Structure 1
Amino acid sequence: MDSEVERNKAIVTRFNKEAIEEGRLAAFDELIDDSFINHTAPAGMPRGRDGMIRFILDVLRPAFPDLRVEIYDQVAEGDKVVTRKAFHATHAGTFMGVLATGKTIRFPVIDIVRLGDGKYIEHWGIRDTHSVLQQITQS
């Protein structure tokens, strides 16, 4: 196994656990480069490092404070890691204008991250936000 590839997968796993799941600001500081670009930032969010932090800490985690990340697959080559995962959580705060429902959700995500010197440099993602909205708005 290529040690760089395995190291990159470990960094992405760490980001998912410490930054997304635990909301640790120090993890963002340690794992996202200042030159970071999020190519699929949500509408209205900055595409840089601050936008990633704001989306996770100010949008996602307040709406789903018990958020847990389940990683299903990781495929890596060179400086890129692809992760197929899902967020599991309880809708306990406002998300995209929908007030808390107390419903349990599954939020499917596929991420591609390019790393350099142990940090996130670029991100592309596919989030099934439509599925989440259906889960929290339907009876």
Structure 2
Amino acid sequence: MFDKRSNIAAQEAFGEAINTGDVDRFDNLVDPSSVDHDPAPGQQPGPAGYKAFFAEMRTAFPDLHVEVETLVADDDQVAIAYTLTGTHEGPFQGHQATGRSVNIRGMQISRFVDGKMTERWGSSDELGIVTQLGLTG
């Protein structure tokens, strides 16, 4: 079933889970067979992959916050442009905390069925993160 309103609500709940660190909410928001077409290195499929990734990110950036700048939706897809901010206070990609802040932009398109994410395509400014943390050569 396709329902634009429930898909937008699921996308908003996904962002709230990131912002609060309540990664267990992904179990109700992401289909177990969901495919991430742009996964993080080593990311598992389905809710488990998102839970592990964002738990790691919140360890590295305890104040991690995603702010949706623009949202566009049709019957089965939600596209967002967002800003991601946080302060590096824990291990990140093998690097100890720098205390530096990051502010990067990204985009994501998610497909939903019955209010659960079934596919995701996305891009974040990963180079911007490591550059702002002073981790580039």
Relative to the length of structure 1, the TM-score reads: 0.88
Among 26, 35, 43, which residue is 1:37 paired with?
35
Deviation, structure 1 residue 107:
2.8
Please state how far the C-alpha of 1:37 moved relative to its aligned partner. Answer: 1.1
Q: 2:23 maps to which residue?
A: 25
Superposed, 1:1-139 pairs within 5 Å as: 4-17=3-16, 19-57=17-55, 59-137=56-134
Amino acid at match of 2:30: I
The aligned length equals 134
Query: Residues 62-106 of structure 1, C-alpha deviation per residue, up to 9 Å, x if partnerless?
Result: 110111111100011120000100111111112122211111111
Deviation at 1:4, TM superposition (A): 2.5
Contact 2:31 2:46 in 1 (8 A): no
Note if contact 1:39-1:47 (Cα within 8 Å) is conserved in structure 2: no
User: How far off is 1:118 after superposition?
Assistant: 1.0
Mapped contact 2:23–2:54 kept (Cα < 8 A): no
CA distance in 2, matches of 1:124, 1:53: 17
Gaps of 5+ in 2: none
Instruction: Kindly indicate whether the alpha-carbon contact (under 8 Å) linking 1:20 and 1:56 is maintained by their aligned counterparts in 2.
Output: yes
Runs of 4+ off more than 6 Å: none
Shift of 1:32: 1.0
Residue by residue over 1:29-63, the C-alpha shift from the partner in whole angstroms, topping out at 9 and shown as x without a partner, is: 11111111111111222233311211111x21111
TM-score if structure 2 supplies the norm length?
0.90
Between the two proteins, what is the percent identity of the paired residues?
A: 34
Confirm or deny: 8 A CA contact 2:30 2:46 kept in the other structure: no
Higher relative contact order by CA 8 Å / sep ≥ 6: 1 or 2?
Answer: 2
RMSD, matched Cα:
1.6
